[in-house]
Structure 1
Amino acid sequence: MRRSATAYPHWFYLPAAAVYAVLFILPTLASFYFSLTRWTLFDLEFIGPQNFVQFFAEPALVQGLTNTLIYAVVTSGLKVVLGLGFAVLLTSNIIGRAYLRSVVFFPVLVSTIGVGITFTVLMHPSKGLINDALATLGIRGPAWLTDPAYALLSVALVDVWKGVGLATLIYIAGIVSIPGEYFEAARVDGAGRFAILRNILVPLSMPATATVVILSLIGGLRSFDLIWAMTRGGPGFTSDVIASVIYKQYQAGFYGLSTAGNVVLFVLVTAIVLPLTWLLRRREVEL
């Protein structure tokens, strides 16, 4: 009797499936349960959805949710625009192209905490190099990280500076995979650079755009380390995001409430990323 051609390889899925179940599925299910409890390391009390009611009733927690959405949209949008712009520049015939690519990608390799500490110093309102440079031009720089109107946006711009290199790399890979015949045909038809960008580069780079948008959104929604290193959610709660709020709740000993915040973050990321992935994949153009 002949053995099935696909039966043997399926056994190779078991180790990976077991690891995935232990490290992801079981902790996720456990977090859903603990979000319905008031718990400590030594005590556990089931309270139902009370943690979620409290989460959405506290203004600081709701503001953290709003800031998370703003932060994710701003960072992902800028990474798409700047990443595509840099990729177009760095795939053209310019002097020092390889060097410029390494310069753009270098911030991705630097420690996030190191970047946060460095820009905290650079953005100091009276002693920072950025405001000193603006002062030489006759411009009075703002209090980047201590003014509630600028704090969240300032951290978002630093996040873009650090992450745009990865977006650029993804776009470069997408652009160089486009067959050269498309560009040659467009030039023969008399198309200019803007027409080529609009009608060839942007549509045929949709797989790269989808990847950049999804990765940037996930990173923005889950961002914590850079914000904590630069502002710790301040001043007040003006730059708090869900992850920093969750961390503060853990520090204060509200473990059930912070676990509910984790569940809210998980649901938020899933609710945004899955439909967006489906929508972006539908817009991709077949080569």
Structure 2
Amino acid sequence: MAIATAPVPGRKGRTAYPGWFFLPAAIIYGVLFLVPTFASLYFSLTRWTLFDSVFIGLENFAQFLREPFLIQGLVNTVIYAAMTSGLKVVLGMLLAVMLTSQIVARGYLRSVIFFPVLVSTVGVGITFTVLMHPTAGMINEGLALFGIKGPGWLTDPRLALYSVALVDVWKGVGLATVIYIAGLVAIPRDYYEAARIDGATKLQNFFYVTLPLSRPATATVIILSFIGGLRTFDLIWAMTRGGPGFASDTIASVIYKQYQAGFYGLSTAGNVVLFILIAVLVVPLTMFLNRRQGHE
């Protein structure tokens, strides 16, 4: 019978498993992430097809940055990411507070709110495209019953991007709510008892206990939602294809249009630009949120 021995003082600490246990994970990570990443970096510097490639340096990047609608796509991407992440934080927190209180059918309501997360994004896009039809859509027909003329949700260049963003929030707020619920139930009840003894109201409980102690959940929701917003493509393509015109184009849809046109090297350079954009925006945001948590 083997007897466990305590680590010898002065000897370097050992992991519980041999190093080769990590080899399968390292191989999967290398094959699925490192190899495609470096391949994309190389092909972004070439003019390539399925059969050959010609090295052209930074010409693809220069041409991509000269695209007339790239700046609009960049602005749309940041607006979309900020709007969807902000609304998911606010609505997710409010729904989580409601669903952790003593309300009737709490478990059922949690399932209902989370259900859209499980539905196909393309299916959601097609469904809301029908619902938001300017003349025959159920939303505008419902507004007409109250004498309100509904707008062209997806046909008005001023509204198209925001309409898709609201659908994105409807689909994704369930995940934010679940993250917040996990954060709220982890808050020790002692804090609320102390606040009750001090005579705190429910509103004061929310602002001085719930909000500060749910900061880790807030950071998680912000980061995940912001990254998802910056990478968004499928919902926009299913609902507007970047239209009307280029009003709801994001960087991802611009990249896809270049790929459709057969400019593979150009679209690969666009993917590298998108990767850099995400890194430039998300890494400082993550450091800021983590630093704020560390000071508390």
The yes-or-no answer on 1:198 pairing with 2:210 is no
Work out the CA distance in 2 between the residues paired with 1:53 and 1:236: 24
The yes-or-no answer on 1:94 pairing with 2:103 is yes
After TM superposition, where is structure 1 displaced by more than 6 Å over at least 4 residues in a row? none
Report the structure number with the largest CA radius of gyration.
2
Aligned to 2:147: 138
TM-score for the superposition, normalised by structure 2: 0.93
Work out the CA distance in 2 between the residues paired with 1:194 and 1:33: 55
Aligned to 2:256: 247
2:168 to 159, 167, 184: 159
Q: Percent identity?
A: 71
* Structure 1 alignment gaps of length 5 or more: none
1:208 to 200, 203, 217: 217
Aligned to 1:23: 32
C-alpha deviations, 1:101-127, integer Å up to 9, x for none? Answer: 111111111111111011000000000
Give matches, 1:70-149, under 5 Å.
Answer: 70-149=79-158
The yes-or-no answer on 1:259 pairing with 2:287 is no
The yes-or-no answer on 1:224 pairing with 2:260 is no
User: Which letter does structure 2 place at the counterpart of 1:187?
Assistant: R
Paired residues, number = 286
Work out the CA distance in 2 between the residues paired with 1:4 and 1:258: 47
* Structure 2 alignment gaps of length 5 or more: 1-10
RMSD, aligned CA: 1.7
C-alpha deviations, 1:27-64, integer Å up to 9, x for none? Answer: 11111111111111223222111111111111212221
User: Which letter does structure 1 place at the counterpart of 2:160?
Assistant: A
Deviation larger for 7-16 or 131-140: 7-16
TM-score for the superposition, normalised by structure 1: 0.95
Change (3 A) 1:198 1:259: same
Contact 1:122 1:128 in 2 (8 A): yes
Change (3 A) 1:121 1:154: same
1:179 to 168, 184, 188: 188
Aligned to 2:4: none
Work out the CA distance in 2 between the residues paired with 1:281 and 1:123: 40
Aligned to 1:49: 58
Work out the CA distance in 2 between the residues paired with 1:22 and 1:42: 22
